Amino acid sequence: MAEHETAARHRTPENPGSEVGAFLRRRREQLAQRWADEPLFRTVFTVARDEAVEAGRVVVDALAQVAGHGRVEDPADPGFTVVREQLSRMAAARARTGLTPSRVSTEVDALRVPADELLVAELPDASAEHVRACTTALTVLMGTLRLVVMETALSEGEALIDRQRLQLLEVATPVIRLWDGIVAVPLIGTLDSARSQVVMETLLESVVDQQARFAILDITGVPTVDSLVAQHLMKTVAAVRLMGAECVVSGIRPAIAQTIVHLGLDLGTVITRASLADALGYALRRLGADIVRAAPGGAQAR
């Protein structure tokens, strides 16, 4: 085996890449026809076979171009640029039917077989070494195609997650009207920069809409208050004030209170209450609508 390989080096074609490129251009039509019957193309372009064939031609052209550049191993080759979007749409269509990424990858890999067969059929008189050099170049090229598809599929997946995150941002920040002139947002989960921006905007909007005089930010459901979260809270408080309302932060749990002190955060100017109920009581009293209590002393912080 090893001997063959060293001996073969002298007889390998100068540039197997460009030879594969030329082959792809010659066999463009046959290959596109064969690919149209492969699952990847057949299941995406279900309405008209013509479309599948046309999509196949575009991919063959791209591969021929990449091979012609002699860069069969380079997923960043500009030859892929024109097909990237099409490939991404195909992979996404397959993923939507419930296919795992590895199955999609296998389907891309399956395209290699017909290409390989056509290539070998074209070289009946060539030496074994020559054939091997060409099929190796083709294999590498098809592997690169697979990489390109997976890359685009992944970034598609990331875009999907981004969209879902965006949707979550919106549903996760309901502003509740607690009373005439009092609105509240119960914050739940991570208060990152994007989320806190949404919180601030929705809160300010409802302060205006409801002509609220008090806005309560309840952080019972926020697991960690670090300097960034604190900064977001303080910005929101300041913005609410600018709208002419007063902001109360409630739900600071004891462990978080201690942590805030160690962190060195100064919430001095921020009105805080232990619970949402306490914050509501505070706001009601300030509005002159005090709560009548059945038992005295019930106002203590919980």
Partner 1 sequence: MSAAAAGVEARLPIRSDLDLVRVRQHVRQASATLGFGLVEQTKLVTAASELARNTLVYGGGGEVEATMVGDGRRAGLRLTFSDRGPGIPDLERALSDGYTSGVGLGLGLGGARRLVHEFAIDSTPGVGTTVTVTSWTARAPRPRGGF
193 part of the interface to ligand ATP, by CB under 6 A: no
Written as six digits, the tokens of 261 are 């002190």
167 part of the interface to partner 1, by CB under 8 A: no
Site for ligand ATP in 200-239 (CB under 6 A): 227-228
Nearest distance in Å: CB 234, partner 1: 9
Nearest distance in Å: CB 17, ligand ATP: 44
Nearest distance in Å: CB 218, partner 1: 18
263 part of the interface to partner 1, by CB under 8 A: yes
164 part of the interface to partner 1, by CB under 8 A: no
Out of 231, 238, 290, 298, the residue judged to bind partner 1 by CB under 8 A: 231
Out of 202, 220, 259, 275, the residue judged to bind partner 1 by CB under 8 A: 259
162 part of the interface to partner 1, by CB under 8 A: no
Report how far residue 247's alpha carbon sits from residue 234's, in angstroms, rounded to the nearest whole number: 10
100 part of the interface to partner 1, by CB under 8 A: no
190 part of the interface to ligand ATP, by CB under 6 A: no
Nearest distance in Å: CB 229, ligand ATP: 10
- Which residue's CB comes closest to ligand ATP? 227
263 part of the interface to ligand ATP, by CB under 6 A: no
Q: What is the binding site for ligand ATP (CB under 6 A)? A: 227-228
- Interface residues with partner 1 (CB under 8 A)? 190, 192, 223-228, 230-231, 254-256, 258-259, 262-265
